[in-house]
Amino acid sequence: LFLQFVFHTYTTAFTLMNGNGTPKAEEYSLHQKQIFYGLGAISYAACAGALPLVFMNRYTLKSPLTQLIVRRLLPAPLLGLTSAFTAAVVRSPEFEHGIEVMDRNGKVVGVSRNAGEKAVRETALSRAVLFGTTFVLPELLVHFVQRAELVKNARSLAAVRMFLITSVLTGMVPVSLSMFPQCGEIKRADLEPEILSSTEDTELFYNRGI
Residue 23 is predicted with a pLDDT of 56
Residue 61 is predicted with a pLDDT of 67
Residue 29 is predicted with a pLDDT of 63
Residue 205 is predicted with a pLDDT of 93
Taken in order 171, 174, 176, 179, is the CA torsion positive or negative?
negative
Q: What count of other Cβ atoms lies within 10 Å of the Cβ of residue 183?
A: 11
The per-residue pLDDT string of the chain (210 residues; one tens digit each, 9 = 90 and over) reads 888 899 999 999 998 888 887 755 444 566 677 788 889 999 999 998 888 877 777 766 677 777 777 777 788 888 999 999 999 999 988 888 889 999 888 888 989 999 999 999 999 999 999 999 998 898 888 888 888 878 778 888 888 889 999 999 999 999 998 899 889 999 988 998 888 888 888 899 999 988
Residue 60 is predicted with a pLDDT of 67
Residue 27 is predicted with a pLDDT of 47
Residue 30 is predicted with a pLDDT of 63
**Degrees, nearest 5: CA angle 88-81-159:** 125
Q: How far apart are the first and last CA of the chain?
A: 26
pTM for this predicted structure: 0.84
Residue 139 is predicted with a pLDDT of 85
Residue 49 is predicted with a pLDDT of 86
| CA dist list (Å): 95 to 70, 166, 186 | 35, 33, 14
Residue 62 is predicted with a pLDDT of 73
Neighbouring residues of 88: CB distance < 8 A, sequence distance ≥ 6 = 120, 121, 123, 124
Residue 44 is predicted with a pLDDT of 92
